[in-house]
Amino acid sequence: MSAPTTSRAESAAKHHESGAMSHREILSALSGLLLALFVAMSSATIVSTALPKIIGSLNGSQTQYTWVVTATLLTSTATTPIWGKLSDLYSKKLLVQISIVIYVAGSIVAGFSHTAGQLIAARAFQGIGLGGIQALVQVAIGAMIPPRERGRYNGYLGGVMALATVGGPLLGGLIVDTDWLGWRWCFFAGAPFAVVALIVLQRTLHLPVFKRDNVKIDYAGASLIAAGVSVLLIWVSFVDSSFAWLSWQTYAMVGAGLVLLALAVWVESRAAEPVVPLNVVRQRTTALAIIASLAVGMAMFGGSVFLGQYFQTGRGYSPTEAGLMTIPMMAGVLLSSTISGRMITRTGFIKPYIVAGTVVLVVGFGLLSLTDHQTPLWQLWLGMLLVGTGVGMSMQNLVLAVQNSVALRDIGAASATIAFFRSLGGTIGVSVLGAVLAHRVTDDITTHLAQAGVPASATSGGTSSLNLAELPDSIQQIVRAAYGDATGHIFLISAIIGVVGVLAAVFFRRITLRSTMDLGASAETPKHAAETDQPAADHGLPAKHAVHN
């Protein structure tokens, strides 16, 4: 290696250790990361407005509708901590690129699905890549930017999230409403953007890789966590429909799930490299952030995922119109994340924004809980605006609070842990609220059909109740009213869950964001160390040597 090249490498290493990357360098590196995040989020949101028609064309059920979403969340949840741990050991850039390839491959397979079961399986594979992208983007940002400065860049992150979440449903609606394309292109459309993201990442993202010898990945712990959560979610999906709450199936599935999760905790406490490090989880800031992330994830994913279905099935709007209806929520995310991020960078304080965000989230879901099939649109838009504002002020800032409390060597595992529990909350929320919605809709349809003198078999016999085009007009009206009226109940549950997030945020200590990359990078007072739940003397990186990629 020539002297100038060596000098540049040494300079880059010094800049990374001191957190002295310029604004231009950070934006250059962020471009590839944010494009990768946009690909993943837009691919997911494209499906959101198209899903009622997709499941209808595949003759699927409400339970299968829920599992198309749950399968992706479940596998992304299970793999997120593994991706995070790998990022502490190997090239973050390479891992992001691998996760993009996996996600796109799953999307293409999903596009060729011919049954709802095939679609669910493809979405489960897709979730593996999604878990990597969600975790690794946060990890890479945490490795580049000191916590104090990270708030302003969270605005860019929020902007990309809002653009993907607004543009995705609109694009999905247009694709489904275009006869010569069809719903399969909802999955194919993201591939070209993924190729661009891979190229941009290769050219712009350059982070040091800290090589460590004799490292073991805790696959046993991750497998036990995934298995335990899966069993409980399967139980939630089928209880009270296929079997009773108090039955041998309930005892067997709940008991098995709890035993598997208890074994996971035991394995994590003894693993040399646990995927969910208990020493990090036990810190006050991290523990409260986990609780808040669970609540926010359950409320946000569980509530918002059914909005597209409400507007189409419950109100009769087209997929494109349903996508337009969700713009207020995304506007709230964009504005609140940008403004709160800049205010946090200016003041260095983060707790007030997290508390305010969780409160606004609860208020928004409380307003949406009044929803039925005749609710005025202005009331829905106001509720969605409040929900989006709450999400923008809380979600990314919970990750920032945890990254601020741990040493640089633990930032991958810590970031992935928060992403894991947020995704877990979303998985539980979608599964539980989907089961509540399905049960309520079934009861309402059965009751109204009986009142109209129509046999319940009129909506069965090979035709899903979600395939409204195949139903008579009179029955269509009954089905639409059932979905519209039942949606308010799941928003009420979301509001109640969100209260837990408010309580967790209130109990945060006063957090002052540090302006250095690592806890030991500057002299920190005992008071500051206490605020971050981390010893002031926690200096070192466990790396034996670093290389750049």
pLDDT tens by residue, 51-68 = 878 888 888 777 787 788
Residues whose CB falls within 8 Å of the CB of residue 116, separated by 6 or more in sequence, listed in order: 55, 58, 59, 60, 61, 64, 68
Predicted TM-score (pTM) of the model is 0.71
Per-residue model confidence (pLDDT) at position 102: 92
Split at pLDDT 50, 70, 90, the class of 169 is: confident
Per-residue model confidence (pLDDT) at position 528: 40
Q: What is the mean pLDDT of residues 71-88?
A: 77
* CA 54 distance to own-chain centroid: 22
Per-residue model confidence (pLDDT) at position 304: 65
Per-residue model confidence (pLDDT) at position 468: 65
Split at pLDDT 50, 70, 90, the class of 262 is: very high
Split at pLDDT 50, 70, 90, the class of 364 is: very high
pLDDT tens per residue across span 89-113: 777 888 888 998 898 888 889 989 9
Per-residue model confidence (pLDDT) at position 12: 45
For residue 512, the SS3 value is strand
| β-pair partners for 21 | none
The answer to whether the beta carbons of residues 511 and 389 sit under 8 Å apart is: no
| β-pair partners for 546 | 210
Q: Give me the percent of the chain exceeding a pLDDT of 70.
A: 77
> What does DSSP say about strands 208-211 and 545-548: parallel, antiparallel, or unpaired?
antiparallel
Per-residue model confidence (pLDDT) at position 259: 95
Per-residue model confidence (pLDDT) at position 302: 61
Tell me the residue ranges of DSSP E strands in 200-334.
208-211
Q: What is the mean pLDDT of residues 507-517?
A: 71
Per-residue model confidence (pLDDT) at position 531: 38
Does pLDDT of 527 surpass 60?
A: no
Split at pLDDT 50, 70, 90, the class of 122 is: very high
* Poorest-pLDDT segment among 12-21, 86-95, 251-260: 12-21
Split at pLDDT 50, 70, 90, the class of 362 is: very high
* CB burial readout 131-168, b (16+ within 10 A) else e: bbbbbbbbbbbbbbbbbbbbbbbbbbbbbbbbbbbbbb
